[in-house]
Amino acid sequence: MNKKKIGIIFGGSSPEYDVSLESAHSVITNINKEKYEIVLIGITKDGEWYKYDGEIENIQDNTWQESGKCTKIVMSCNRSDKGIIELNNGNLIRLDAIFPVLHGKNGEDGTVQGLIKLSGIPLIGCDVLSSSLCMDKHLSHKLVESYGIKVAKSIVINNKTSKNEIIEKLKELNYPLYVKPMRAGSSFGITKIESEKEVEQAVKEALKYDTEVIIEENIDGVEIGCAVLGNDELIIGEVDEIELSEGFFNYTEKYTLKTSKIHVPARIDEKTSKEAKDTAKKIYKILKCKDFARVDMFLTKQGEIYFNEINTIPGFTSHSRYPSMMKQIGIDFRELLDRLISLNI
């Protein structure tokens, strides 16, 4: 059997570089090597692209760049090539598909997806438009809201908005509020504030990650999520629920679960679970997602569902939320990867 050659991109010029290393290590470890030949493509924090031929463990502990097993590459934008080119010898390596296991800025926001689309290599995951839309919290909210799905009330400011303008705009909202970078993931730069005196510092923190900031009202409820797989025919994983003992689901909690717990399935009745899954499907289609995504929502005490955000490349270790939700319906990690690849080759 001829093995299909799959490129897996990891790292990235992003604050979520380390998260990508964990996800990619898990994907590489679990992918079916009897069916697929893997070509590892690492992007450094400085944005240098390499073909990596070393040990997989060096990816997880971030020593891959020091291994002496890296060859500088570029992606060919000649669609007839459908591959990457080694710069030291001009060698072309053709790929049957490419899977960017990247998170956040310069990886999940449509930039890398655009380059892959130009190359003509089949892209595993969301395309340019859906990646860009889903990364922008304001635009995705407004589009989803226009279809009748509830979202938190919010305002948008940028790095040129004066303090007085911010305070004036905030009169439209009720505390507590969440101050978030417009385009960032893993809860980087997010602050929950209870009063006006906390605004300035929270905005300053959010502006470290983007030039625009969204400030939105708190939704009094629990966060739930749905894993969606497919294109025309969609498969929905079991709904999960985040139980918090304090604060919000920030970066530390997402990757350590020190004071929080994830319930799969969520502690909700069958009717509410169906409504959540149906809403996730609708959002996935509205935002023109492809192959897979995780849709995050809030469920209030009154049973109302609010859209929070959509992750076009969610955490992808074997214990991450997306694979865990799929495992609950009988799709284990290896089969999940196989299905994703099969959607594109």
140 and 158 co-located in one domain: no
Give residue 202's pLDDT. Answer: 95
How many domains does the structure of the chain reveal? 3
SS3 content of the chain, % helix, strand, coil (to 5): 30, 30, 40
240 and 276 co-located in one domain: yes
120 and 245 co-located in one domain: no
210 and 114 co-located in one domain: no
Structural domain boundaries enclosing 119: 4-124
CATH number of the domain to which 9 belongs: 3.40.50.20
Last residue in a domain, options 196, 217, 238: 217
Give residue 67's pLDDT. Answer: 84
- Rounded to whole angstroms, what are the CA distances from 21 to 36, 60, 62? 20, 5, 7
Residue 317's closest CA among 11, 16, 27, 15?
Answer: 27
Chain mean position to CA 213: 18
Spatial separation of the C-alpha atoms in residues 173 and 66, rounded to whole Å: 50
Give residue 185's pLDDT. Answer: 67
Report the DSSP beta bridge partners of residue 234. Answer: 230
Spatial separation of the C-alpha atoms in residues 343 and 341, rounded to whole Å: 5
Give residue 201's pLDDT. Answer: 95
How many residues comprise the chain?
345
Last residue in a domain, options 124, 141, 174: 124
* Ordered alpha helix ranges (H), 53-108: 57-60
Is the preceding omega at residue 176 within 30 degrees of 0, hence cis?
yes
Which contiguous run of DSSP H or E holds residue 15?
none
Last residue in a domain, options 202, 217, 232: 217
198 and 256 co-located in one domain: no
CATH number of the domain to which 196 belongs: 3.30.1490.20
170 and 302 co-located in one domain: no
Q: Where does 27-176 show beta strands of DSSP type E? A: 36-43, 49-52, 70-75, 83-86, 92-94, 97-100, 150-151, 154-158
Give residue 21's pLDDT. Answer: 96
pLDDT digits (tens, 9 = 90+) for 169-220: 999 999 999 999 998 766 788 999 999 999 999 999 999 999 999 999 999 9
284 and 235 co-located in one domain: yes
Angle at 117 between CA 112 and CA 120, to 5 degrees: 130
142 and 256 co-located in one domain: yes
275 and 327 co-located in one domain: yes
Residue 263 token pair? 């319930």
184 and 327 co-located in one domain: no
pTM: 0.92
161 and 239 co-located in one domain: no
The alpha carbon torsion through 160, 163, 167, 172 (nearest 10 deg) reads 0
All residue ranges of the chain with pLDDT < 70 are 1, 185-186, 245-259
Give residue 183's pLDDT. Answer: 86
235 and 294 co-located in one domain: yes
CATH number of the domain to which 273 belongs: 3.30.470.20
